[in-house]
Structure 1
Amino acid sequence: MGATEPQWVLMATGRSPTNIAVIKYWGKRDEALILPVNDSISVTLDPDHLSATTTVAASPAFPSDRMWLNGKEISLSGGRFQSCLREIRKRARDVDNEKKGIKIKKEDWEKLHVHIASYNNFPTAAGLASSAAGLACLVFTLGKLMNVNEDYGELSSIARYGVWKCMPQYIWWICEMVYGKNDDGSDSMAVQLVNESHWDDLVIIIAVVSSKQKETSSTGGMRDTVETSPLLQYRA
């Protein structure tokens, strides 16, 4: 990359359905690494009804990282977004797009800024795991843009920095998020239990009685539970 090169834009788009926990983790044993106190089992829902679609673009013309959610710009200063960007950039590889004449070396990704546009086709922050779908989609799409060669389990461990969910871009359908035992969280990732053909007659109906943003975030609720509940140790 050099100052005289044309101001190209490289883009990638991904879509992730949301997934709802049947057995939910509730509470973290490490707030910084987002390590939960128990496993969870989740069911991936129909992406036509509940999904996040994210487009990411990189260009030497972008002076900073920026993000828009449902058409409104949001701050990227929060730790979870920065953690996801940092971890994906660490794993980025060379990109050679012959069609567009773009060549990017893996070390250049640290200097390139990205623009992110994400859209949810269902109510956001209303209890339907919009953060899970959005962060999973973000990690998957950034990995696609930066030619990250990691399997979905590894990517799920990166998405954990945003929200502790699986990577539902592919149809895992029913998956388990293993809480892990290692202090660094390296063994905390998603694993498939069964695929979409396992339970053909299962139907999930979601009734949205209010699209308002919930008053207590999951993060806040979990923190309160860990700090005040004498029963959490038995649940976990």
Structure 2
Amino acid sequence: MQDPNNDGFLCVTCTAPVNIAVIKYWGKRNEKLILPTNSSLSVTLGQDELRAKTSVAVSSDFNEDKMWLNGKEQSIENPRIQNVLKEIRRRARKRLSDSENEADLLLKHVHIVSENNFPTAAGLASSAAGYACLVYSLAKLYGVQGEISDIARQGSGSACRSIYGGYVAWEKGKADDGTDSYAVQIASETHWPEMRALILVVSDQKKDVGSTEGMQTTISTSELMQQRIQGIDKKMKLMTQAIKEKDFPTFAKLTMQVS
């Protein structure tokens, strides 16, 4: 959206869904790039009940980058937010380098306004929806095309899966720079219409232990973690097959084992 009264103003708004892992990623081989120890697979939920909504805007009138979450200003210096902004701008710079007028877009500061219509940091994948929404909005704003789930991953690992609807795998990858760690849709949102997710919110309070802290503790203390990691690749294949064949008993059994 452009403001006719301000030719330097440009705004994009989008919404993004929550995803619930049926094969969970738990632990990272690289904390900075958020590269997982194992691949994972999730179901993307509809947005009628649970969604993040983000607006991003640039303007000649803005004198610094700013961000608001659920009506409260947040520090834009959060390392993960900075990683996302830097990568989006890096890719945009490559695309815009041939156009002086378009390149001017990169000189403007950005304002980010995000909100969730469900409890934040309470175990309902708010960071996944939030970062997916942020990355998609920024990509539209700056004209970044192609694969963007790897950028969302740098904000919140599971956010890469919320870029797509339906059933989505996050490939763990092997490259040190994370170029092969991204999300892939394995079945569309219309593939299995009988599937339903029932979500009961027993507390809307912030979790006592965040996911990152929990993962770090598990990696450093669990004697069974390596066994879990070694068995995930086989279970990913079985789960993918169960989804494609709409085999709910196998789907449910695997979910209980590794979610």
Fold-level similarity (TM above 0.5): yes
Query: Which residue of 2 is the match for residue 100 of structure 1?
Result: none
Task: State whether structure 2 residue 206 is matched by structure 1 residue 209.
Answer: no
CA RMSD of aligned residues (A): 1.6
Tell me, what secondary structure is at the counterpart of 1:187? coil
* Structure 1 runs, 4 residues or longer, greater than 4 Å off: none
Task: State whether structure 2 residue 138 is matched by structure 1 residue 138.
Answer: no
Go from structure 1 to structure 2 and tell me whether the alpha carbon gap of 1:223 and 1:164 turns closer, same or farther (over 3 Å shift).
Answer: same
1:162-177 to structure 2, matched below 5 A, reads 162-165=155-158, 166-171=160-165, 173-177=166-170
User: Which segments of 5 or more consecutive residues in structure 2 lack a partner in the other structure?
Assistant: 1-5, 230-259
Residue-pair matches, total: 219
Could you tell me the TM-score, scaled by structure 1's length?
A: 0.88
Q: Which amino acid is the alignment partner of residue 183 of structure 1?
A: D
Query: Which residue of 1 is the match for residue 176 of structure 2?
Result: 183
Tell me, what secondary structure is at the counterpart of 1:127? coil
Q: Is the 8 A contact 2:122 2:206 kept in 1?
A: yes
Go from structure 1 to structure 2 and tell me whether the alpha carbon gap of 1:45 and 1:104 turns closer, same or farther (over 3 Å shift).
Answer: farther
Point out the structure with the larger helix share: 2
User: Which segments of 5 or more consecutive residues in structure 1 lack a partner in the other structure?
Assistant: 1-5, 96-102
Residue number among 111, 125, 139 corresponding to 2:107 in the alignment: 111
Q: Is the 8 A contact 1:89 1:109 kept in 2?
A: no
- % identity of equivalent residues: 53
CA distance in 2: counterparts of 1:34 and 1:111, whole angstroms: 28
Q: Which amino acid is the alignment partner of residue 66 of structure 2?
A: R
Q: Is the 8 A contact 2:164 2:185 kept in 1?
A: no
Task: Compute the displacement of 1:111 (Å).
Answer: 2.3
Query: Which residue of 1 is the match for residue 69 of structure 2?
Result: 69
1:10-89 to structure 2, matched below 5 A, reads 10-89=10-89
Q: Which amino acid is the alignment partner of residue 140 of structure 2?
A: K
Q: Is the 8 A contact 1:7 1:61 kept in 2?
A: no
Go from structure 1 to structure 2 and tell me whether the alpha carbon gap of 1:23 and 1:208 turns closer, same or farther (over 3 Å shift).
Answer: same
Task: State whether structure 2 residue 259 is matched by structure 1 residue 233.
Answer: no
Go from structure 1 to structure 2 and tell me whether the alpha carbon gap of 1:7 and 1:195 turns closer, same or farther (over 3 Å shift).
Answer: closer
Q: Is the 8 A contact 2:161 2:168 kept in 1?
A: no
Could you tell me the TM-score, scaled by structure 2's length?
A: 0.81
Tell me, what secondary structure is at the counterpart of 1:9? strand
